[in-house]
Amino acid sequence: MSAPVVTIATGAQFPNLDRDEQGLPDALRARGIEPRIAVWDDPSVNWDDAGVVVVRSVRDYARDRKKFVNWARSVPRILNSAETIAWNTDKHYLRELAARGLPTIPTIWLEADRHYTKQQIHSRFPATGDFVVKPAVSSGGRGTGRYTATDPKSRAEAIEHAMRELRHGRTVMVQRYLDVIDRQGETSLIYLNGLSAYQVEKAPMLHPCFRSTADSAVVDEVVNLADASEETWRWGERIRKALHGYVKEKSGHDELLLFNRVDIVRGDEDSEEEFYVMEISLIDGSLYLSAKEENLNRFADAIQTRVMW
């Protein structure tokens, strides 16, 4: 009897997988699974013969979201599902989560078809504090910049940044930068097959002069292992339930997500919220497999469980 096949889908930038995931093939092999690696838009790959496809280092999907979503829908067995992938490729999903009662960072959405002038963009920026400009379709922090509202040079750079993204037909998000991130960083909660698995704490990535163009390299995250507190898992469970409820409502069935990374930040003493949802990663967000061997083994076990169903 031949071993079941699992193909790890990656991007051309990482033909041998991102370094965080390079131990995954051996971990799968140790579990009696034949691992393969394939670039998602490689025309020579026969996806009908790929077994279960696990999406990972596809950090280039934002350059052609439509092509990527069409590819995902063409793959017979893909995790997470193609429709979940399509939903998660556009950060407008944060609006939908907010509508379900989750505390997200207040966002101003600049739609490309509105043809804003520079003055109109300027008037929509915060009047004080730091803020972030980024496209709604992006991966790995590309196209993200942090600016200071009261600095004329910084504000002018932010306007040019937004105009550049809008000219390329991309929706632009403008979010107030939460100072608590500089003090405490962010927290990532990892769920595997719908169950809480582990947690990491991430150092602040957006220093005051941070700029990442659409074509620049993915910025490395500085992470620290952390014991999951009852408080953060309570928040994470609230987010997980809202997410699964939304997926069930839209698809008509309750999808069991192979992996789900929830990024949150604590509210500060002046905030009305205990925490804010920064992002939910169901496609290519790092799962921090190399941070601890146990993380890698848990993910390999989760894949094995799905393969054997």
| CATH number for the domain harbouring residue 138 | 3.30.1490.20
Specify the number of domains making up the chain.
Answer: 2
Looking at the domain assignment, is residue 117 inside a domain? yes
The residue that leads in pLDDT, 47 or 308, is 47
Q: Say if 14 falls within a structural domain.
A: no
Per-residue model confidence (pLDDT) at position 232: 86
pLDDT of the residue at 90: 95
Report yes or no on 102 lying in a domain. Answer: no
Report the percent of the chain where pLDDT is more than 70. 91
274 shares its domain with 171: no
183 and 169, same structural domain? no
Domain span at residue 156 reads 107-176
Give a yes or no: residue 86 inside a domain. no
- Per-residue burial over 55-73, b = 16 or more CB atoms within 10 Å of its CB, e = otherwise: bbbbbbbbbebeebbebbe
Out of 9-13, 252-256, 266-270, the most confident range is: 9-13
**Would you state the pLDDT for residue 206?**
58
| Averaged confidence pLDDT in the chain | 90
Tell me, yes or no, whether 183 and 269 share the same domain.
Answer: yes
**Residue 91 domain-assigned?**
no
Q: Is the pLDDT of residue 85 over 90?
A: yes
In this structure, are 221 and 239 located in the same domain? yes
pLDDT value, residue 225: 65
For residue 32, tell me if it sits in a domain. Answer: no
